[in-house]
Amino acid sequence: MEFELLILQCVLILCMWAMIMQRQNRRREVLGQLPPGPRGWPVVGNIFQLGWAPHRSFARMAREHGPIMTIRLGLMRTVVISSDEAARDMFKNHDTVLAGRKVYEVMKGSSGNEGSLITAQYGPHWRMLRRLCTSEFFTISRLDAMRDVRARCVNRMVQYVEEASTHKENVVDVGRFFFLMSFNLIGNLMFSRDLLHPNSKMGAEFFHHAGRIMELAGKPNVADFLPLLRWVDPQGIRRKMDFHVGRVFDMAGRIIKARLEAEGGKDFLDALLEFEGDGDEEPTKLSPRTINVIVLEMFIAGTDTTTSTLEWAMAELLQNPKVMIKVQAELRQVVGPNRKLEEQHMAELPYLKAVIKETLRLHPPLPFLVPHRAMNSCKMQGYYIPEDTQVLVNVWAIGRDPKTWVEPTEFRPERFMELSHVDYRGRHFDFIPFGSGRRVCPAVPLASRLLPLALGSLFHSFNWTLADDLKPEDIDMSERMGITLKKAVPLRAIATPYKGWATDGSD
């Protein structure tokens, strides 16, 4: 009885504290008018209105409250951007002041966010990390020099799929092979070698832990909404995240150790180890933890977004057989039999590139991008955005806005044949799957090369049918929410080698 009374007293104290904080926040807000938004409950705000898919819930709310609206998640004030006009204003006129990061509890490691390009606040440290990555990892010259490496990783994926198609009734776990390909590609860029093969125990372990990290990072955490609960970690999210990150750090450490003991060409690990600062008052050498964090983020960001995008593209094509046939016809006419798809063919494959764009429009890897934070107060679209406000850009809603897109929920690559000038580099605000402005994803140049090459290679090499006697309309297209938006049910398909295609490596 005494214990129950103590719990009740704690809950009452927590509620009173939250109400006092909300009242103080409202006093600050009289300085300006916040964007409109739905009414919420005391203390918890709009948390219970989110549902299982916040990107869908926010899109529905925006239809009533407008393209820029205020949402209260406990004590966390959030502004949600849901139209291309509002996104244009944000990234063109307020990019610097809104370039901060809202860092959730689960993203704060035991040593903070040291070394993180994703969660570092905008400033000298972040600019140093960004320059390091773009100058050593994503430059055009370096990406061009690594063309043969990309081709080798994709061709090996084709080989793995062919081998897998001869076992277990020809059923292929599509996402698994996309993961192996992208993981080995990052491994070559970082460490100059492949790291995994289909039966790799470490590959399965990394796949599991990386997936859990992305899921936990996107899971609503009451400790973010009610900061008094941070030390309690009531859902155990921080504890679970530390466990999975620790396991990935262990694997990264083993990979780095093996790389240092072997001889090889200059790669990104060498650049990290040799880095001595760039004049922004940074340490002369990167710490081991910073290197570990950079390696972890490169692998997780490079594999998770690539895998989810390509799996969604495969699912959409299998659900739309006429589109799939059109893609294959283009590929086989341009590339021809007994030849491999190469990056040099891409200029002649506009429909394949349109399929990639249409997939990213309907299934952006990060439906809210990475959360932004107002580093100072500002006025946007006539509304007041207080300092420390979280800003979410609902690119999922922007990509399905009926005011911009005809038949917005339909998979129609033809729309991008008419809009061939529209790309995903952040310049067209009705289509920003990788963000825009200063915090745009630095890996866009790599993605623009890899996505069509990987998808096109599988559809040039194989004919595809659904496993388990499914019909196209029976494909489960439900989503699983994490940081990235994945298919809830992995795609299983049957690959039949295309006649005339040389799978033994010959041309």
Separation CA 329–CA 323 (nearest Å): 10
According to DSSP, residue 100 is labeled: E
Q: Closest Cα to residue 85, out of 465, 488, 401? A: 401
Highest mean pLDDT among 37-41, 348-352, 472-476: 348-352
Residues forming beta bridges with residue 70, ordered by sequence position: 79
Separation CA 348–CA 132 (nearest Å): 34
Vertex 97: Cα angle to 63 and 77 (nearest 5):
45
Residue 38: which region, alpha, beta or left (left: phi > 0; alpha: psi -120 to 50)? beta
- pLDDT score of 3 more than 80: no
Lookup result for tokens 């390696």: 295
pLDDT at residue number 333: 95
- Averaged pLDDT of the chain: 86
Segment 17-30 shows an average pLDDT of 51
Q: Where are the domains of the chain?
A: 37-103+118-497
Q: Treating both helix axes as pointing N-terminal to C-terminal, what angle do 350-362 and 444-461 enclose, rounded to 10 degrees?
A: 110
pLDDT at residue number 80: 98
pLDDT at residue number 168: 59
- pLDDT score of 479 more than 90: yes
Lookup result for tokens 């129950």: 4
332-383 pLDDT, tens digit each: 999 988 889 999 999 999 999 999 999 999 999 999 999 999 999 999 999 9
Torsion sign (Cα): 472, 475, 479, 484: negative
pLDDT at residue number 481: 81
- pLDDT score of 33 more than 80: yes
- How many Cβ atoms sit within 10 Å of the Cβ of residue 69? 22
pLDDT at residue number 373: 96
pLDDT at residue number 32: 63
Separation CA 15–CA 33 (nearest Å): 26
What spatial distance separates the first Cα and last Cα of the chain, rounded to whole Å? 79
Of all residues in the chain, what percent carry a pLDDT higher than 70?
Answer: 88
- pLDDT score of 30 more than 50: no
68-89 pLDDT, tens digit each: 999 999 889 999 999 999 999 9
Vertex 258: Cα angle to 254 and 259 (nearest 5):
115
According to DSSP, residue 379 is labeled: E
Looking from the CA of 379 toward its CB, the CA atoms found within 13 Å total 5
195-218 pLDDT, tens digit each: 777 777 776 787 788 778 877 877
Confidence of residue 193 (pLDDT cuts 50, 70, 90): confident
User: pTM of the prediction?
Assistant: 0.88
Q: Closest Cα to residue 333, out of 319, 317, 320, 350? A: 350
Distances (CA, A) of 142 to 136, 211, 215, 268, 278: 7, 29, 32, 11, 20
Residues ≥6 apart with Cβ < 8 Å to 7: none
Separation CA 197–CA 179 (nearest Å): 11
pLDDT at residue number 24: 52
271-310 pLDDT, tens digit each: 888 887 665 555 567 888 888 888 888 888 888 899 999 9
37-103+118-497: CATH topology? Cytochrome p450 (1.10.630)
Separation CA 451–CA 433 (nearest Å): 14
Please give the single-letter amino acid code of residue 195: L
Lookup result for tokens 């790309």: 423
235-252 pLDDT, tens digit each: 888 889 889 888 888 887
Task: Name which residue leads in pLDDT, 326 or 14.
Answer: 326
pLDDT at residue number 211: 74
- pLDDT score of 399 more than 80: yes
91-123 pLDDT, tens digit each: 999 999 999 998 887 777 655 566 788 889 999
Of all residues in the chain, what percent carry a pLDDT higher than 90?
Answer: 51
- pLDDT score of 503 more than 70: no
Separation CA 464–CA 458 (nearest Å): 9
Task: Name which residue leads in pLDDT, 170 or 350.
Answer: 350
3-state secondary structure 33-63: CCCCCCCCECCCECHHHCCCCHHHHHHHHHH
pLDDT at residue number 132: 87
Separation CA 128–CA 140 (nearest Å): 19
134-155 pLDDT, tens digit each: 888 888 888 898 999 999 999 9
Separation CA 221–CA 205 (nearest Å): 25
pLDDT at residue number 265: 63
Segment 424-440 shows an average pLDDT of 95
pLDDT at residue number 14: 54
Confidence of residue 430 (pLDDT cuts 50, 70, 90): very high
Lookup result for tokens 């739309």: 320
